[in-house]
Amino acid sequence: MNVYDSARMADVMAPVGYVATDVADDADLVILNTCHIREKAAEKVYSELGRLRPKKEDGTMIAVAGCVAQAEGDEILRRAPYVDLVVGPQSYHRLPKLVADATAENKSSGRSRVVDTDFPAESKFDFMPAVQSSGPSAFLTIQEGCDKFCAFCVVPYTRGGEFSRPVEAVLTEADQLVGNGATEITLLGQNVNAYHGDDQGLAGLIRKLANIEGLERIRYTTSHPRDMNLDLIAVHGEIPELMPYLHLPIQSGSDAILARMNRKHGADDYLKIIDALRVARPDIALSSDFIVGHPGESDADFEATMALIKKVEYAQAYSFKYSKRPGTPASDMDDQIPEDVKSERLAALQNLLNQQQITFNEQTVGSSIPVLFERRGKLPNQIVGRSPYMQAVHVSCVDAAAADRYLGKIMPVRITGAFANSLAGNLDDEVVAETTKMEPARA
Ligand code: SAH
Ligand code: SF4
């Protein structure tokens, strides 16, 4: 979501003369778009700010955006007084005015301290210009915030209450993205499947999006098991554009810990959803988030998580040590788990997940898979894309012209090698021959 937000910030700043640059030294304004979900992410902001500080001497303006800005606005100005501007995730449509205010303050007093961490009554989305550009695979935020208040999580405090964008606004933005070259759209939300901007919820929105010509792949993330309704499960079997991959976090396999987390679902509820998804779309690849060492997690609770992972067999997953977040109920629970126990559990869990990921990837060797190529790789003439199952796929092309030609396209790839985090393959021989034949005509 921060990637999406950063792109929108660039769009908002374009009319007042700003363009994005990859080189920090060229920048007149640096915006750090930050994440507060775990302590490590939040702490990184301060080390990054320290690194940027010398740039102030060249007159560069420094802004902090995102959830750390929201949660620690004043603390940021205390710890890094050279920051000019702090803007929360719901206020960045006001960036042009905030930057102008900070510039004026700097001129008059040599120092600015502009802070906007409101939850404005207006929706920032209503003030956003049309999407300016897009790669082959684009993000589109359709829902923000959360009302679920899991005991460990800061999201309801930093992003605010649950909000869905109206279906018309989403369809308009999807059209803009496809018009700008997107072939794939990933719908985003902290609780994306709680989307209620359409009468038929997320299922209804996906059905409508599937009618957009040129939009060949649809994904959505992140979902909550409680909002995984039967209609949405059915859409996985019904809409070919909806990719056979779902990130559905469970956090823990122990009912006792799920209750302490205030997740309002048990391990069995989750397993039933997985079964139903696999009936609807037998090849669906599954992913999850896991937290180890949540307060109160016993060895038996942890083993229940390991047992659940073995049952589901994930294609990939994200896993984290529980991180205490200020102001959340779990941070005040007495039975906090020692760091070394958390580390041990995380290592065991990641080992199991890695094995499952390799097994999943190895199953694809020898088969032909449609890959959407998104970017050039590190090697000469190499291109990288994603399989329907979200695997990164690397392919070497005969020359640079071929590599450019395939970027943004979906091509069948024969998979020749599987690794922990990616696949290698060749463009199907026939396809290469076809395209080569077509070449003189095009030239
Ligand atoms: N809405 C999604 C999750 C959004 S937060 C859901 O309910 O599943 C993304 C992930 O960060 C969570 O799934 C969780 O695994 C992790 N996370 C959130 N708070 C955390 C904390 N305090 N410590 C460790 N991991 C955390
Ligand atoms: Fe956080 Fe997700 Fe729980 Fe909401 S549902 S509180 S975003 S973990």
Where are the chain's structural domains? 2-116, 130-237, 244-363, 368-438
Q: Whose alpha carbon is nearest atom 1 of ligand 2? A: 153
Q: Over 80: is that where the pLDDT of 216 sits?
A: yes
DSSP-assigned beta bridge partners for residue 188 = 141, 221
- Integer Cα distance of 223 and 228 in angstroms: 7
Peptide bond preceding 222 in cis form (omega within 30 of 0) = yes
- Which pLDDT value is given to residue 25? 86
Given the DSSP bridges, would you call strands 61-65 and 85-87 parallel, antiparallel or unpaired?
parallel
pTM: 0.94
Q: Which ligand is nearest to the CA of 250?
A: 1
Could you say which ligand is closest to the alpha carbon of residue 145? Answer: 2
Q: Quick check: CB of 325 below 6 Å from ligand 1?
A: yes
Is the CB–ligand 2 distance for residue 190 below 6 Å? yes
Does 152 score more than 90 pLDDT? yes
> Which comes out higher in pLDDT, residue 57 or 417?
417
Superfamily in which the 368-438 domain is placed by CATH: Nucleic acid-binding proteins (2.40.50.140)
130-237 and 244-363 share one CATH topology? yes
Tokens (6 digits) for 133? 């550009």
Give distance in angstroms: CA of 306 to centre of ligand 1: 18
Atom in ligand 1 nearest the alpha carbon of residue 150: 7
- 438 C-alpha to ligand 1 centroid (Å): 49
Which ligand lies nearest the alpha carbon of 36? 1
Whether the CB of 93 sits within 6 Å of ligand 1: no
**Distance from Cα 67 to the centre of ligand 2, integer Å:** 14
- The mean pLDDT of 193-220, rounded to a whole number, is 97
65: CA distance to ligand 1 center in Å? 20
Task: Evaluate if residue 96 carries a pLDDT over 70.
Answer: yes
The pLDDT tens digits for 350-400 are 999 999 999 999 999 999 999 999 999 999 999 999 999 999 999 999 999
CA of 147, closest atom in ligand 2: 4
Confidence of residue 254 (pLDDT cuts 50, 70, 90): very high
CA–CA separation, 399 and 37 (whole Å): 43
pLDDT at 406 over 70: yes
**CA atoms within 13 A of residue 434's CA, in its CB half-sphere:** 7
First to last CA, the chain: 41
Cβ 158 under 6 angstroms from ligand 1 = no
Cα 389 to ligand 2 centre (Å): 24
User: For the domain with range 244-363, which CATH number is right: 3.30.750.200, 3.40.50.300, 3.30.429.10, 1.10.10.410?
Assistant: 3.30.750.200
Q: Measured between alpha carbons, how far is 105 from 164 in angstroms, rounded to an integer?
A: 36
Cα(189) to centroid(ligand 2), Å: 11
Q: Ligand 1 center to residue 250 CA distance, Å?
A: 10
Pairwise CA distance, residues 80 & 152, whole Å: 27
Residue 111 has pLDDT above 90, yes or no: no
Q: Ligand 2 in contact with 153 (CB < 6 A)?
A: yes
Residue bearing the CA closest to ligand 1, atom 11: 37
Rounded to whole angstroms, the Cα distance separating 244 from 278 reads: 10
Distance CA 131, CA 160 (A): 24
Residue 194 scores a pLDDT above 80: yes
| Pair 362, 418: CB distance under 8 Å | yes
For ligand 2, is residue 225 a contact (CB within 6 Å)? no
Q: Among the bound ligands, name the one nearest to the CA of residue 161.
A: 2
Closest listed ligand to the CA of 328: 1
Query: 153 C-alpha to center of ligand 1: Å?
Result: 6
Judged against a pLDDT cut of 80, whether residue 125 lies above it is answered with: yes
What is the rounded CA–CA span in Å between residue 94 and residue 78? 23
Which positions ≥6 away from 32 have C-beta within 8 Å? 45, 48, 49, 52, 62, 63, 64, 65, 66
Report the range of poorest mean pLDDT among 100-109, 180-189, 347-356.
100-109
Write the pLDDT tens digit of every residue in 297-329.
Answer: 999 999 999 999 999 999 999 999 999 999 999
What's the mean per-residue pLDDT of the chain?
94
Q: What is the pLDDT of residue 441?
A: 42
Q: How far is the CA of 409 from the centre of ligand 2 (A)?
A: 35
Testing ligand 2's pocket by substitution, the residue of 143, 146, 323 carrying the most ligand atoms inside 8 A of its CB is 146
- Mutational pocket test of ligand 2: of 143, 190, 265, 291, the residue with most ligand atoms within 8 Å of the beta carbon: 190
Q: What does the alpha-carbon distance between residue 148 and residue 290 come to, in Å, rounded to a whole number?
A: 17
- Determine the CATH number of domain 2-116: 3.40.50.12160
Q: How far out from the chain centre does Cα 401 lie?
A: 31
Q: What percent of the chain has pLDDT over 70?
A: 97
CA dihedral angle for residue 43, residue 47, residue 49, residue 53, rounded to 10 degrees: 160
CB 414 within 8 A of CB 368: yes
Assess whether the C-beta atom of 226 lies below 6 angstroms from ligand 1.
no
With respect to CATH, is domain 130-237 assigned 3.30.750.210? yes
221 lines ligand 1 (CB under 6 A): no
